[in-house]
């Protein structure tokens, strides 16, 4: 009987000592696992979440930039087409005015020389911009205004009356040159310039609206270059619109000050001068610089996207390699090998489960210690050794507060912070479970493990007949 009691005492003492060693090992494992998870959170999870958020913002910014480039490209083509039409329409109007003046002056020449008006072949007039040679057109004699005044002037010229040549010059200004170019001016004001201004105003409106659009506002705040280019483009378009609005297709008063209209060559040359002056105002309308800047921003965004993707792949690899470290500290069942991105999305749940498992291991070791202590109470012959072992197995009041109060509360706060961090980037990460669910389950797991540990501490205390002094 003594031998049996001695065997039970030895076995109970050994079990208690082993349980104490397992408790201390599990406590060290909890600290190591928490430290590893903290490093993992700071060095891997946080950069990954940040890069995911950056990628999401970059994707939205790239979409905005691409849309702006596409729209401005289309509007630049519209502006170029409008410039071409404006130049062609103005040249046609000037060419028509020149031909009408030539015809009118030929009628005046016929009257002065006494020749009968005849059907004439109008020679082509040189266009301000080189164009294919046009075939001569057959035109009838032009009907001139104020025929009585003209006839009186012609009669005076034939009689060599003094001042008749000045009267003829004034007649030509009032009834031939002025009206011809007034038609060009009216066509410029009524048709050509409005058609040219329309695509410019459309582009200006688009840029102004882009700068004010609510869905663009945050992206433009984060992309200063894009906002700067848009502002500069808007200023360029506003300046261009002002120049076109103020551009006089033909200044009739200025044209009447010269004697260019007295010869065919002079009329053609003046038409070219007028066209070139207007063209100098029209040609600077150019969005190529703005589009090139926006295209450069798009290329830089693509490069940044590639760099962020590379960074994410490296972080995923690093995280997958860290899974084995967590498992070796917390036990083989601490974490199931899953894809790194999924693990990041479930990090609040993983964090709670790992910490709960470690505390469960501590509680399980204490449970074994309580059972061994209860067995040792009735068979112990060495009271001092039993009390020493019980002192090692039991926790101090401070240790109880730390392990059952501070550590679970800190774990819950940690899990909540991780959930908040992931929640801000949940659209980019798309975790398999809602972040709030992962956090709640993780916190519940930690609290259950703490409660289980508390019950076993109570059992261990109950097995001690003598209080520690």
User: Can you give the chain as a three-state secondary structure string?
Assistant: CHHHHHHHHHHHHHHHHHHHHHHHHHHHHHHHHHHHHHHHHHHHHHHHHHHHHHHHHHHHHHHHHHHHHHHHHHHHHHHHHHHHHHHHHHHHHHHHHHHHHHHHHHHHHHHHHCCCCCCEEECCCCCCCCCCCCCCEEECCCCCCCHHHHHHHHHHHHCCCCCHHHHHHHHHHHHHHHHHHHHHHHHHHHHHHHHHHHHHHHHHHHHHHHHHCHHHHHHHHHCHHHHHHHHHHHHHHHHHHHHHHHCCCCCHHHHCCCCHHHCHHHHHHHHHHHHHHHHHHHCCCCCHHHHHHHHHHHHHHHHHHHHHHHHHHHHHHHHHHHHHHHHHHHCCCCCCCCCHHHHHHCHHHHHHHHHHHHHHHHHHHHHHHHHHHHHHHCCCCCHHHHHHHHHHHCCCHHHHHHHHHHHHHHHHHHHHHHHHHHHHCHHHHCCCCCHHHHHHHHHHHHHHHHHHHHHHHHHHHHCCCCCCC
The confidence band for 126, taking pLDDT boundaries of 50, 70 and 90, is: very low
Do the Cβ atoms of 296 and 226 come closer than 8 Å? no
Q: Hey, what's the torsion of the CAs at 65, 239, 277, 190, to 10 degrees? A: 90
Task: Give the rounded percent of residues in the chain with a pLDDT score beyond 70.
Answer: 77
| Alpha-carbon gap, residue 233 to 221, rounded angstroms | 17
Query: Residue 448: its pLDDT value, please?
Result: 93
Torsion over CA: 288, 294, 299, 302 (sign): negative
Query: Residue 447: its pLDDT value, please?
Result: 93
Residue 141 is given by DSSP the state P
Closest Cα to residue 24, out of 469, 404, 416, 399? Answer: 399
Residue 337 φ/ψ, nearest 5 degrees? -60, 110
Q: Match 């002094």 to its residue by tokens.
A: 469
Q: Is 464 helix (H, G, I), strand (E, B) or coil?
A: coil
Q: Hey, what's the torsion of the CAs at 109, 114, 119, 120, to 10 degrees? A: -30
| Alpha-carbon gap, residue 438 to 44, rounded angstroms | 19
Given a cut of 80, whether residue 446 has pLDDT beyond it is yes
Closest Cα to residue 202, out of 86, 71, 294, 290? Answer: 71
Half-sphere exposure at residue 252, Cβ-oriented, CA atoms within 13 angstroms: 16
Taking residues 200-219, what's their average pLDDT? 84
Task: Give the rounded percent of residues in the chain with a pLDDT score beyond 90.
Answer: 7
How many other CB atoms are found less than 10 A from the CB of residue 296?
12
The confidence band for 468, taking pLDDT boundaries of 50, 70 and 90, is: very low
Query: Residue 378: its pLDDT value, please?
Result: 59
Angle, CA of 93, 99 and 101, to the nearest 5°: 100
More confident residue, 132 or 211: 211
The confidence band for 394, taking pLDDT boundaries of 50, 70 and 90, is: low
Torsion over CA: 272, 277, 278, 281 (sign): positive
Instruction: Find the range with the poorest average confidence among 92-101, 232-241, 399-408.
Output: 399-408
The confidence band for 395, taking pLDDT boundaries of 50, 70 and 90, is: low
* Longest pairwise C-alpha distance within the chain: 167
Do the Cβ atoms of 184 and 250 come closer than 8 Å? yes
Closest Cα to residue 197, out of 245, 247, 238? Answer: 245
Residue 443 is given by DSSP the state H
Element (H, E) at 456: helix 435-462
Query: Residue 440: its pLDDT value, please?
Result: 94
Closest Cα to residue 84, out of 74, 72, 92? Answer: 92
Q: Which two tokens stand for residue 412?
A: 């819950």
Q: Which two tokens stand for residue 309?
A: 């993707």
Taking residues 38-53, what's their average pLDDT? 84
């Amino acid at each position: 009987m003594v031998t049996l009691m001695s065997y039970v005492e030895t076995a109970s003492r050994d079990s208690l000592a082993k349980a104490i060693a397992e408790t201390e090992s599990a406590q060290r494992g909890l600290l190591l696992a928490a430290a590893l998870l903290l490093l993992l959170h700071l060095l891997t999870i946080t950069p990954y979440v940040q890069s995911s958020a950056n990628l999401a913002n970059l994707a939205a910014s790239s979409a905005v930039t691409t849309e702006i480039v596409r729209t401005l490209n289309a509007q630049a083509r519209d502006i170029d087409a409008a410039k071409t039409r404006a130049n062609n329409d103005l040249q046609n109007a000037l060419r028509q005015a020149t031909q009408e003046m030539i015809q009118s002056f030929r009628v005046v020449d016929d009257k002065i020389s006494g020749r009968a008006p005849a059907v004439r072949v109008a020679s082509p007039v040189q266009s301000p911009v080189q164009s294919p040679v046009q075939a001569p057109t057959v035109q009838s004699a032009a009907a001139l205004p104020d025929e009585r005044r003209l006839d009186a002037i012609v009669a005076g010229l034939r009689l060599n009356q003094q001042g008749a040549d000045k009267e003829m010059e004034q007649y030509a200004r009032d009834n031939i040159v002025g009206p011809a170019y007034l038609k060009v001016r009216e066509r410029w004001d009524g048709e050509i310039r409005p058609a040219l201004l329309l695509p410019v105003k459309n582009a200006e409106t688009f840029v102004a609206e882009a700068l004010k659009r609510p869905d663009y506002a945050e992206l433009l705040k984060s992309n200063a270059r894009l906002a700067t280019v848009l502002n500069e483009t808007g200023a360029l378009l506003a300046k261009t619109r002002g120049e076109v609005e103020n551009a006089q297709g033909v200044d009739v008063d200025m044209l009447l000050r010269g004697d260019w209209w007295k010869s065919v060559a002079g009329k053609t040359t003046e038409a070219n001068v007028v066209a070139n002056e207007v063209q100098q105002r029209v040609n600077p309308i150019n969005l190529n610089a703005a589009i090139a800047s926006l295209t450069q921003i798009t290329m830089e965004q693509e490069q940044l996207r590639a760099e962020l993707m590379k960074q994410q792949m490296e972080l995923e690899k690093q995280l997958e390699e860290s899974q084995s470290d967590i498992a070796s500290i917390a036990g083989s069942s601490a974490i199931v090998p899953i894809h790194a991105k999924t693990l990041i999305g479930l990090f609040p749940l993983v964090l709670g489960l790992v910490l709960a498992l470690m505390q469960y291991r501590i509680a399980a070791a204490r449970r074994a210690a309580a059972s061994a202590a209860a067995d040792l109470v009735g068979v112990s012959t060495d009271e001092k050794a039993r009390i020493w072992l019980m002192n090692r197995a039991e926790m101090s009041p401070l240790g109880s507060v730390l392990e059952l109060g501070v550590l679970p509360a800190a774990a819950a706060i940690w899990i909540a912070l991780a959930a908040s961090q992931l929640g801000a980037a949940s659209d980019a990460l798309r975790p398999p479970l809602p972040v709030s669910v992962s956090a709640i389950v993780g916190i519940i797991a930690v609290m259950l493990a703490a409660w289980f540990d508390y019950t076993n501490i109570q059992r261990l205390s109950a097995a001690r007949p003598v209080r520690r002094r």
